[in-house]
Structure 1
Amino acid sequence: MGSSVVVVLAERKRLRQLQEQLAALTPPPQRLVAIGAGETDVATVAELNPALTRQLRQRRMATWLIPFGFFAGLTFTFITDLDTFAFAGPIGSHLIGGLLGLGSGWMGSFAAAASVSAEGDDRVRALRNRLEEGNWLLLVESASGVEIPWTRLQEAKPKAVVRLSES
């Protein structure tokens, strides 16, 4: 992933002009997303939606916490040799322990994802406030190693340009 910035514009006409100018560049930006009234909904843009970011983080955490929890639960029942689930027999007892560990891993993925705050939450909140004030946003993401066209962005006379990430 390269650098990404969000340009805040007061007029939709300027948004369209800047979007067309940037798309005509060689090489063009990797991603251009217009956000605002009549454009892309801010809720669908992961960079500007903390809830969506948290959900994606939870899914990534679950991919390794769930199997780890299963094997940890299975191992625990073998190590301790407790007969907590004796009604299920020797194999069933270990399997239930593994399933309980699996559930713990799944719950842990939610707790871990919710406990991490994103580094740009304040910037995202400020951008969402600008959007609610009636402005338009243009998310510009360049490819790795390609510089953001700063001169072109400043020519559009934006209200603000907010850097979200750097390559």
Structure 2
Amino acid sequence: MPVCVLVLKDWSDAASLQTKLKAQALPLLQSVLVPPEGGDGQLPDEGDGATGLQCELIDRVELLNPNLARQRRQRGMARWLMPFGFLAGLTFTQITTLETFSALGTWAQPMIGGLLGMGSGLMGSYAAAASVPSDNEDGVRILRNRHQEKRWLLLLETPTGIEPPWQLLQSARPIQVVRLSEL
């Protein structure tokens, strides 16, 4: 899905661009306005074009926060690695003649091995999720720097195969347009 983020001077530029996009009936999967840092995250109460514009803090937008993407990857990997770790620990305990936890009984020893394997799967999901870099790191770093410079960010995500209307976006006179790699 093509994603582009426009860096704008103020919210009125974003609101007027949003009304133009609605007039063109462009199918947008996501249209999120990120207020500058230090703001309260609320749009001014003027009502001219701000209706329907979703306003979010930068730390809540997954495309602009690498930590959220990493947490999502970790949860997905844990969903697979923990059951396989349990089975591996259970199998390892059964096929070896080690009796590390023999004092707990014949049923508890394989279960302890399975639980230790599940814990290893959980640790592996954290390590694997942290080791995968994002393709968008440079673009996200640029956008977070502009956000700290008290600039408004407008994130637009279009469906696969549909390009954003570049001429219309340039007519809003953004300070910068950052195209994040397709997801």
The TM-score with structure 1 as length reference comes to 0.94
Match of 1:3 in 2: 2
In structure 1, stretches of 5+ residues that fail to align are none
Shift, 1:10, TM fit = 1.1
After superposition, the C-alpha distances for 1:20-47 in whole angstroms (9 at most, x for unaligned) are 2223322331110000143410010000
Q: 1:22 maps to what in 2? A: 21
CA RMSD of aligned residues (A): 1.3
Please state which structure has a larger fraction of its residues in helix: 1
Give, in angstroms, the shift of residue 50 of structure 1: 1.0
What pairs with 1:30-45 in structure 2 (closer than 5 Å)?
Answer: 30-36=29-35, 37=39, 38=41, 39-45=55-61
- TM-score for both structures, normalised by structure 2: 0.86
1:162 matched to which residue of 2?
A: 178
Quote the residue 2:64 is aligned against. Answer: 48
> 2:135 touches 2:181 (CA, 8 Å); kept in 1?
no
> 1:128-150, CA deviations, whole angstroms, 9 ceiling, x for partnerless residues?
11011111001000012222111
Letter of the 2:5 partner, please give it: V
Q: Which residue of 128, 132, 140 corresponds with 2:148?
A: 132
Q: Which amino acid aligns with 2:170?
A: Q
Q: Structure 2: where are the runs of 5+ without partners?
A: 42-54
Shift of 1:165: 2.6
Aligned identity (percent) is 51
Which whole-Å CA distance do the structure 1 matches of 2:161 and 2:133 have between them?
Answer: 27
Q: What residue is the counterpart of 1:12 in the other structure?
A: 11
Q: Which one-letter code corresponds to 1:82 in the other structure?
A: L
User: What secondary structure, in the 3-state scheme, does the structure 2 residue paired with 1:137 have?
Assistant: strand
Misfit runs of 4+, over 2 Å: 23-28
Note if 1:68 corresponds to 2:68.
no
> What's 1:143 paired with?
159
Shift of 1:19: 1.8
Equivalent residues in 2 for 1:42-121, closer than 5 Å: 42-121=58-137
Q: Determine the C-alpha separation between the residues in 2 that align with 1:46 and 1:85.
A: 44
Per-residue CA deviations over 1:109-163 (Å, capped at 9, x if unaligned) read 1111111121211210110110111110010000122221111101111111111
SS at match of 2:128: helix
CA distance in 2, matches of 1:24, 1:70: 55
Q: Please give the per-residue CA displacement for 1:83-131, whole angstroms capped at 9, x wherever unaligned.
A: 1110122221111100000011111111111111212112101101101
Q: Tell me, in whole angstroms, the C-alpha distance in 2 between the residues paired with 1:19 and 1:40.
A: 15
State the number of aligned residues.
Answer: 166
